[in-house]
Amino acid sequence: MMDQNTEQNADTCSGDHSERKSHHSDKVKNSLISRLNRIEGQVRGIKGLIEKDTYCDDVLNQIASVQSALNGVGKLLLEHHMKSCVVQRIQEGDQEVLTELMTTMNKLIK
Q: State whether residue 91 is helix, strand or coil.
A: helix
Kindly provide the b/e burial profile for residues 52-72, where b requires at least 16 CB atoms within 10 angstroms of the residue's own CB: eeeeeeebeebeeebeebbee
Please give the pLDDT value at position 69. 97
Instruction: For residue 12, give Cα distances in angstroms to 18, 30, 55, 61, 68.
Output: 11, 19, 47, 39, 29
Convert the pLDDT of each residue in 16-37 to its tens digit: 555 677 777 889 899 999 999 9
CB 42 within 8 A of CB 62: yes
The pTM is what?
0.77
